[in-house]
Amino acid sequence: MAKKSKAPAARKKPAPKTRKPTARAKTAKPRRDPLAPTPVMTGKGPGPLEVGKSLVEMFNRGLFAEIEDTWWDKKKIASVEGHGVGMAWVGLKAVRAKNDGWVAEHAIHGASAEGPFVGSTGFTVRFKMDVETKATGQRQVMDEVGVYTVENGKIVREEFMYLIP
């Protein structure tokens, strides 16, 4: 008679682990409607309305350097010139050099600003300036808008757009 082989002993499966209830149960976040709008924020500090009102008031008082010192973001400022120039200056030194060069080449006989026209992330100001190019003596009235982007209470970008007759 042949020996019967013994089947290996069945292993006991460990009991399934159960989770202990916690005080903070995680809940699934509701799905956001992809067509729904999302909030727009500019961060901490003054928003576009306060920055814009102050800029217009300072400009109309002739406090041009004070605008830069008060409202420009020292780390992120960029200045873009519009039609006919189409260039950007990035960084505090570059933007100040651009402005200082313009002031050195022009005499300002009058200047005014109106606005601000306020949006969610910035504002626009309309500028009119009676300027004379010092090298040629040519005088002109400039009509332009500045479009400003505000982050954390400071201007991080300004872009100038000109009225082309």
Where do runs of H (alpha helix) occur along the chain?
48-60, 64-71, 92-105
- 10 domain-assigned: no
pLDDT tens column, 95-152: 999 999 999 999 999 999 999 999 999 999 999 999 999 999 999 999 999 999 999 9
- Judged on CB neighbours under 10 Å (0-12, 13-18, 19+), 66 is middle
- 2 domain-assigned: no
Domain CATH for 96: 3.10.450.50
Query: What would you report as the CA-atom Rg of the chain, rounded to the nearest whole angstrom?
Result: 32
- 7 domain-assigned: no
The pLDDT mean for the chain works out to: 89
pLDDT band at 46 (very low <50, low <70, confident <90, very high): very high
Question: Beta strand pairing status for 106-118 and 122-133?
Answer: antiparallel
Q: Considering Cα of 42, then 67, then 76, then 98, what sign does the dihedral take?
A: positive
- 116 domain-assigned: yes
- 100 domain-assigned: yes
Rounded (5°) CA angle 111-95-161:
50
Instruction: Tell if the pTM clears 0.75, that is, is over it.
Output: yes
Count the domains in the chain.
Answer: 1
